[in-house]
Amino acid sequence: MSHPIMFPVATVVVPGRLIVSILLLWVVSIAAHAAPTLDVSGDEIHLTDFSVGYFVDNSQSLSYEEAREKPYEAANSTATLGTGVSVTWHRIALHNPGAHDKALFLHMPMAYQVRAIDIYEERSQGMEGQAAVDLNEASDNPLMHRGTIVYPFSVPAGETTVLFVRSHLYSHQWFAAEIYDDKHSRKALVGGHLDIALLVGMMMALVFYNGLLYFATSKKENLLYSLYLISGVVWIALSYGLLAKAFNMYGDAVFILNLSVFTMPIFLVLFMMVIFETREFYVTEHRILKGLLALLIAGLAYGLFDIEGALIPASSLAALMMVVTFSVSLSILRKGHPLAKFFLVGHSFFVVFNGFAVLFYKGLIEPNYLNSHGVGVGIVLEAITLAFIISYRIKVLEDIRSQQDELKRQAATDPLTQLYNRRFFMTEGEHLVQQARTTGEQVSVIALDIDHFKAVNDTYGHHAGDLVLKDMAGIFQKFSRSRDLIARFGGEEFVILLPGADQAEAEGCAERIRQGVEKHVVQAGENVTIRVTVSLGVAQVNSHMESVEDAVKRADKALYEAKEGGRNRVCFVV
């Protein structure tokens, strides 16, 4: 009977464990350099989207020798790791299987966001070159080109070059790397940021326009809107590299401008309070906005002492702000405010695009243009809508003012002749007499009465009488000066106040009016013409002793003398 061959347990188990251990070590070794090696053998090198390895250095103190041995996870060459990650190492491996050496350039287009960058170039496990860029001293660094770090390196034929990049950021850890040959490197450095310059230009135009509106109207909403726009301009120019590209500004001194992430929503909330008049009409919504405002101001105050710490919860606070402001504006819309629907349209743009940006900053979604530029796009779209709201509100206020002016005009004028009425004449006339008392200017009064006007009504009817009154009003205006105050006192009686006119000039004006009326023919219907005359009394106002009412009484006395003397004439009293 045959028996199976039995091996000692030790001789089977121990070698198996050794093999497994060796395999695990090999897998870990491979995983340590998980990102694939890039092939750079092509004629043109233009790499903007490729895989890199990354490792988070929580100790923030690892040396290059220590960091290169750590396990690296695969990531995209443009990535964000969110908040709470200050120092990361990135590994980029490039192999050249061709017959010619490759001279290449590593571009880091978002370097303006960082505090410091260290680059280590190795080949065949040996250091070939290294560079360090401190952004506080980057203005004169030869590797810094308008916000982009450009590091030249080479990949010899048949060899592999590995780049280790240590990135030390302030609060949000994002990374962007590009690999170019010389031609594409030059192209990448030319132009760019035109979209950001356009956004900033549009917003600055709105700032200038609303600044002028504020100085013209003193409306708070124009000032708050301008401050909101300025904060948005600062944030966009800083976050998207316009300050770096245009002014070569980097480091801690510029990073403090990130406080605009707090001032923007502060001014937006204040704008909402003013534009919706929440204090007076929406008490609950006003209290909610005040609570949000308190949080934002607290964040701003904290940021003055610790900007890095304040920015860590900033994206969460931004999300809260979007939810609260959207909910409040929706509540105000339900209560019937006419501007709420327009605000909601603009704020929806802001909420949607900023929502993408918040997710991007937290490292929860893949980076793309829309995600990385969400705040800027949202700010501009909302800013345009808010500009429309301000214009619409100005129109509403102008309509209300026009209605009020029309009511005032109606209250001050005679509805038939459109001349001023007695009440307005006495008030404004007294004011003009007081002015004359101060300046020493002469003032005169003319009292007028249409002769035999009752006969016109009795003969031709009241409609014809109304036509006569209207024509007379036109003649009085035609032969008077533009500054003269003309009023219908009632019936066929009129009064004219002449500032700056002595008795002789007033008599000349009265005579011109008398002759104009005498020559005028009133067309009262088909084949119906009416001619009338007027009697006039003139009195010069003694502005130092006399009121306008007393002067009108003396002019009336002269008018009575003109009527007693045969009508259609001018009389005056001393």
Give the lowest-confidence range in 145-159, 218-232, 319-333, 372-386. Answer: 372-386
Q: Is the dihedral of CA 448, 451, 452, 453 positive or negative?
A: negative
Rounded to an integer, the average pLDDT of 274-301 is 92
- Res 213: pLDDT: 75
Give the lowest-confidence range in 36-40, 172-176, 215-219. Answer: 172-176
Contact 408, 464 (CB under 8 A): no
CATH code for 34-189?
2.60.40.2380
Q: Which residue has the higher pLDDT, 197 or 465?
A: 465
Residue pLDDT, tens place only, 56-101 = 998 888 999 999 999 999 888 887 776 667 899 999 999 999 889 9
Whether 494 has a pLDDT exceeding 60, the answer reads: yes
Top-ranked range on mean pLDDT: pick from 127-141, 207-221, 548-562? 548-562
Backbone angles phi and psi of 226, in degrees to 5: -65, -40
- Res 171: pLDDT: 65
- Res 364: pLDDT: 65
Whether 313 has a pLDDT exceeding 50, the answer reads: yes
Contact 196, 376 (CB under 8 A): yes
Q: Is the dihedral of CA 381, 383, 389, 392 positive or negative?
A: negative
Residue pLDDT, tens place only, 374-395 = 677 777 777 777 777 777 777 7
Residue pLDDT, tens place only, 8-30 = 333 333 444 444 444 434 433 44
Tell me the C-alpha distance between 549 and 48, whole Å.
88
- Res 83: pLDDT: 65
Q: How confident is the model at residue 102 (pLDDT cuts 50, 70, 90)?
A: very high
- Res 210: pLDDT: 76
Tell me the C-alpha distance between 332 and 319, whole Å.
20
Q: Which residue has the higher pLDDT, 12 or 185?
A: 185
Rounded to an integer, the average pLDDT of 347-370 is 71
Of all residues in the chain, the percent with pLDDT exceeding 70 is: 89
Rounded to an integer, the average pLDDT of 356-377 is 67
- Res 512: pLDDT: 94
Q: Which residue has the higher pLDDT, 573 or 39?
A: 39
3-state DSSP of 315-370: HHHHHHHHHHHHHHHHHHHHCCCCCHHHHHHHHHHHHHHHHHHHHHHCCCCCCCHH
Whether 342 has a pLDDT exceeding 90, the answer reads: no
Whether 118 has a pLDDT exceeding 60, the answer reads: yes
Active site residues: 492
Residues 78-108: b if buried by 16+ CB within 10 A, e if exposed:
bbbbbbebbbbbbbbbbbbeeeeebebbbbb
Tell me the C-alpha distance between 213 and 419, whole Å.
34
pTM over 0.75: no
Q: Which residue has the higher pLDDT, 489 or 574?
A: 489
Q: How confident is the model at residue 371 (pLDDT cuts 50, 70, 90)?
A: low
Contact 487, 420 (CB under 8 A): yes
Q: How confident is the model at residue 360 (pLDDT cuts 50, 70, 90)?
A: low
Rounded to an integer, the average pLDDT of 250-263 is 86
- Res 517: pLDDT: 94
- Res 19: pLDDT: 46
Of all residues in the chain, the percent with pLDDT exceeding 90 is: 41
Which residues share a beta bridge with 91?
Answer: 53, 164
Whether 296 has a pLDDT exceeding 60, the answer reads: yes
Read off the tokens for 12: 């089977």
Q: How confident is the model at residue 3 (pLDDT cuts 50, 70, 90)?
A: very low
Architecture of the CATH domain 420-573: 2-Layer Sandwich (3.30)
Read off the tokens for 452: 């035999």
| 260-275 and 374-412 helices, crossing angle to 10° | 30
The full set of domain ranges for the chain reads 34-189, 194-405, 420-573
Whether 487 has a pLDDT exceeding 50, the answer reads: yes
Which residues share a beta bridge with 420?
Answer: 413, 487
Residue pLDDT, tens place only, 196-234 = 777 788 888 888 877 887 787 778 888 888 898 888 888
Q: How confident is the model at residue 34 (pLDDT cuts 50, 70, 90)?
A: low
Q: Which residue has the higher pLDDT, 522 or 373?
A: 522
For the chain, give the mean pLDDT: 84
